[in-house]
């Protein structure tokens, strides 16, 4: 079975089970203070499987399915062959933690800070696609098509700006660092397992 579908299915099941149960949700969401003082390290992962509401869940899972499916069925197999499944799992699993680390260190002494959702890992998957297929068109607001590389630049700039403002209750920092991790992980994987000059190919696709 598709790895992407398995991740989407598990995330949907867990999210729907706890979505309307605040007590259950608080036991698993990403909570830096609890991780730091209670050594509840599982929260780095469990927080990625719970979402605030149906819209939050649907947006993340539709994005993950769309881009994860592309990685799993075409982009990674074309480059990595039999290693593609393992590398896709590693990309997602590491991104869950790495995208959360900046907020962990920033808020580990702040009792009231909590977060949830798979946005950081989903951003890593999205940016892996952007690096490997920069000339593909993505649609902003489901209407305006722009090249993937330009979307990536705008997305990172917006996420960095909004993370600095920090006043809209959205995990922009996780979006930003998840995206950066997706780029770095994919670059290292390509350089480690192939002879493809991924940066040269990226620049050539742009110009």
For the stretch 105-154, pLDDT in tens is: 999 999 999 999 999 999 999 999 999 999 888 765 556 788 888 889 88
Task: Output DSSP code: residue 30.
Answer: B
Q: Quote the pLDDT of residue 140.
A: 57
3-state secondary structure of 146: strand
Q: Which two tokens stand for residue 102?
A: 């900046």
pLDDT band at 167 (very low <50, low <70, confident <90, very high): low
Q: What is the dihedral of CA 170, 63, 7, 38, to 10 degrees?
A: -10
* Average pLDDT estimate for 174-190: 96
CB-based contact 3:64 (threshold 8 Å): no
* CATH class entry, domain 3-206: mainly alpha
CB-based contact 68:7 (threshold 8 Å): yes
Q: Which two tokens stand for residue 197?
A: 């000059």
Q: Which two tokens stand for residue 172?
A: 């922009």
Q: Which two tokens stand for residue 62?
A: 């539709």
Could you tell me the CA-to-CA distances from 200 to 84, 141, 191, 192, 197 in Å, in that order?
22, 30, 12, 16, 5
> pTM for the full model?
0.93
Q: Which two tokens stand for residue 22?
A: 């605040």
CB-based contact 35:44 (threshold 8 Å): yes
Q: Is the pLDDT of residue 80 over 90?
A: yes
160 CB-near residues (< 8 Å, 6+ apart) = 172, 176
pLDDT band at 5 (very low <50, low <70, confident <90, very high): very high
């Amino acid at each position: 079975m598709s790895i992407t579908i398995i991740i989407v299915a598990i995330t949907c099941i867990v999210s729907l089970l706890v979505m309307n149960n605040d007590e259950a949700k608080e036991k698993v969401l990403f909570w830096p203070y609890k991780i730091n003082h209670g050594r509840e390290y599982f929260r780095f992962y469990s927080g990625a499987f719970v979402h605030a509401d149906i819209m939050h869940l649907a947006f993340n899972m539709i994005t993950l399915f769309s881009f994860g499916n592309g990685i799993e069925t075409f982009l990674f197999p074309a480059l990595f062959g039999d290693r593609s499944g393992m590398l896709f799992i590693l990309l997602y699993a590491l991104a869950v933690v790495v995208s959360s680390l900046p907020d962990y260190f920033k808020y580990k002494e702040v009792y009231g800070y909590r977060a949830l959702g798979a946005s950081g890992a989903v951003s890593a998957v999205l940016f892996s696609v952007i690096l490997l297929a920069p000339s593909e068109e993505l649609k902003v607001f489901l209407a305006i098509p722009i090249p993937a590389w330009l979307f990536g630049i705008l997305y990172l700039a917006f996420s960095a700006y909004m993370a600095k403002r920090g006043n809209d209750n959205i995990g922009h920092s996780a979006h930003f660092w998840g995206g950066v991790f997706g780029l770095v992980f994919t670059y290292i994987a390509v350089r480690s397992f192939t002879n493809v000059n991924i940066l040269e190919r990226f620049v050539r696709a742009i110009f």
